C-alpha cells in the first residue's frame, strides 16, 4: 500500500530537473550542486490542528507544506531546487494523498522544484517537507546583518492569514486560537455559516445575496469576498522567492514572517545585537483585512499574527529606491515600516512617537 501511495505522489509530482542524477525510488537521491554555489537546506513540519485547521482541503495542505519551506529559502535569498516529503497519515487514504500531491505539485511546478524523495508513515496527520536550494557562495541573507541606522521593510501586506484564522475560530473549536481578535463592529468572533467558507462557496453565496438586493446585501458581498481573499492567504501562502532573489546583495538581513512580525523581527534583532522601532501607522494591511476588522485589530493582526510568509528585511536607507525598484520588477510591493536602533527590544510607536504596548508578540509552540 505504501508503495502504491508513493507511486501516486511520484506520478503527480512529475517535474524533472537535469541536476537530479537519481530521484525517487532508491535508498537516497543523488544531486548535482552547481559549482560555486552553496547548498541551502531547511525543513518545516505542519501538524493538523496546529499549523492548519483540521478540515483544511488536502490540496491546500500540500501547497502550504511546500510553501512554508520555500519561504524559508526565499528569506535566505536562495533559489529553490529540490524537496523531500515525509508524510504521516492516519490511514492509507489514496484520495487524500492524490489531492495533497496535486496541491504540492502546483506550487512545485511554479518554482521548478523537483520532489526527490520522502517517507510515509502511519500516525496522526503531519507533513514534513525538506527544501533544498542554491545560493552563490557568501551571498545568503542572514538574520545577523542588521546595523543601527538601517531601515526595516516588509513585502506585501501583513495580518491576512491571522484574520482568516479569526474567521475560522468558531468553526474549528479544536484549533488553538492564536489571538482573541474580534471583527469590525462586533464584540465577539464572527460566526460563520455551518458549511464553512471555501473561496468558491463564499463567492457563490455572496453573488446570490447581492442579487437579492440592496445596500446591505452589497456590503455583505464585499465582506464575504474579503473573507475569501483572507482565507486564500491562510491556505495558499505565496512564498516570496523572487523577492528573496532580488534582495541578494541589497538587504543586510532578512527573515520570513511566519510567527508574527514582532516575534520574527525580534529574532533578527537578537541575531544582530540591535533593537528596532516600528511605526504602527506604516504597517501595510490589505483592503480585505480593513474591510473585515477595525483599525486597531488590523494593527494587532499585522504585528502579532503569523502565517503571512512575507519577507521582513533590513537595508541601509540609501538603498531604498534601488530595492523598491528591484522588488517591483519581481512583482512585489514593499513598505518601509521602521528603523534599527541600538538596544535589544522591538518597540511599536504611534503617530506621536509614543510606545504602544502590544499584548501578544506571536505564536510559540511551547509558551512559558
Residue with smaller CB distance to ligand ADP, 110 or 130:
130
d(CA 158, CA 310): 7
Shortest distance in whole angstroms from residue 7 CB to ligand ADP: 9
- In the shown chain, the binding pattern of residues 87 to 126 toward Mg ion, with x for contact by CB under 5 A and - for none, equals --------------------------------x-------
Task: Give burial (CB, 10 Å; 0-12/13-18/19+) of 36.
Answer: exposed
Residue with smaller CB distance to Mg ion, 119 or 325:
119
Query: How far is the CA of 331 from the CAs of 69, 277, 327, 364, in angstroms?
Result: 20, 27, 6, 31
C-alpha cell at 3: 508503495
Shortest distance in whole angstroms from residue 260 CB to Mg ion: 35
Residue with smaller CB distance to ligand ADP, 65 or 141:
65
Shortest distance in whole angstroms from residue 368 CB to ligand ADP: 35
Name which of residues 23 to 82 contact ligand ADP (CB under 6 A).
24-27
C-alpha cell at 303: 504585528
Residue 83 as a binder of ligand ADP (CB under 6 A): the answer is no
Question: Which position among 118, 237, 284, 305 is part of the footprint of ligand ADP (CB under 6 A)?
Answer: 118
Full DSSP string of 116-161 = EEEEEEESS-EEEEEEEEEEETT----STT--TT-EEEEES-SSHH
**Which of Mg ion, ligand ADP, none lies near 361, with the C-beta cut-off 5 to 8 A by kind?**
none
**SS3 call for 98:** helix
DSSP β-bridge partners for residue 263: none
Residue with smaller CB distance to ligand ADP, 43 or 201:
43
d(CA 118, CA 101): 13
Angle at which helices 261-272 and 295-304 pack, to 10 degrees? 40
d(CA 341, CA 151): 9
Residue with smaller CB distance to ligand ADP, 62 or 260:
62
Stretch that binds ligand ADP, among 117-125, 133-141, 181-189, 262-270 (CB under 6 A): 117-125
d(CA 319, CA 189): 42
Stretch that binds ligand ADP, among 41-49, 54-62, 111-119, 291-299 (CB under 6 A): 111-119
Question: Which position among 78, 105, 107, 115 is part of the footprint of ligand ADP (CB under 6 A)?
Answer: 115
Residues that bind ligand ADP (CB under 6 A): 6, 9, 24-27, 85, 87, 115, 117-120
Residues that bind Mg ion (CB under 5 A): 119
Amino acid at each position: 500500500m505504501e508503495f502504491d501511495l508513493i507511486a501516486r505522489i511520484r506520478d503527480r509530482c512529475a517535474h524533472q530537473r537535469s541536476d537530479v542524477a537519481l530521484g525517487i525510488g532508491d535508498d537516497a537521491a543523488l544531486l548535482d550542486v552547481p559549482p560555486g554555489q552553496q547548498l541551502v537546506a531547511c525543513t518545516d513540519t505542519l501538524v493538523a490542528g496546529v499549523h492548519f485547521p483540521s478540515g483544511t482541503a488536502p490540496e491546500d495542505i500540500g501547497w502550504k507544506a511546500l510553501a512554508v519551506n520555500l519561504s524559508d529559502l526565499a528569506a535566505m535569498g536562495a533559489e529553490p531546487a529540490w524537496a523531500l516529503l515525509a508524510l504521516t497519515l492516519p490511514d492509507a487514504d489514496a484520495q487524500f494523498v492524490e489531492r495533497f500531491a496535486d496541491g504540492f505539485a502546483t506550487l512545485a511546478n511554479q518554482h521548478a522544484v523537483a520532489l526527490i524523495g520522502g517517507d510515509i508513515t502511519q500516525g496522526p496527520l503531519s507533513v514534513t517537507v525538506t527544501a533544498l536550494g542554491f545560493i552563490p557562495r557568501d551571498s545568503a541573507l542572514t538574520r545577523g546583518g542588521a546595523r543601527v541606522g538601517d531601515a526595516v521593510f516588509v513585502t506585501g501586506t501583513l495580518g491576512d492569514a491571522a484574520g482568516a484564522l479569526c474567521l475560522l475560530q468558531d468553526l474549528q473549536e479544536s484549533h488553538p486560537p492564536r489571538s482573541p481578535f474580534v471583527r469590525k463592529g462586533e464584540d465577539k468572533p464572527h460566526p460563520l455559516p455551518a458549511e464553512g467558507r471555501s473561496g468558491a462557496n463564499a463567492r457563490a453565496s455572496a453573488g446570490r445575496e447581492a442579487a437579492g438586493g440592496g445596500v446591505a446585501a452589497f456590503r455583505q458581498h464585499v465582506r464575504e469576498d474579503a473573507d475569501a481573499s483572507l482565507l486564500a492567504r491562510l491556505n495558499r501562502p505565496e512564498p516570496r522567492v523572487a523577492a528573496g532573489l532580488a534582495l541578494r546583495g541589497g538587504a543586510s538581513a532578512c527573515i520570513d514572517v511566519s510567527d508574527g512580525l514582532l516575534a520574527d523581527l525580534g529574532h533578527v534583532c537578537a541575531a544582530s545585537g540591535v533593537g528596532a522601532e516600528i511605526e504602527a501607522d506604516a504597517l501595510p494591511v490589505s483592503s480585505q483585512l480593513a474591510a473585515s476588522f477595525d483599525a486597531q485589530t488590523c494593527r494587532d493582526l499585522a504585528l502579532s499574527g503569523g502565517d503571512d510568509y512575507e519577507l521582513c528585511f533590513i537595508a541601509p536607507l540609501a538603498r531604498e529606491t534601488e530595492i523598491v525598484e528591484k522588488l517591483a520588477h519581481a512583482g512585489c510591493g514593499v513598505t518601509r515600516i521602521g528603523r534599527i536602533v541600538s538596544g535589544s527590544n522591538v518597540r511599536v510607536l504611534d503617530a506621536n512617537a509614543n510606545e504602544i504596548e502590544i499584548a501578544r508578540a506571536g505564536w510559540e509552540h511551547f509558551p512559558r
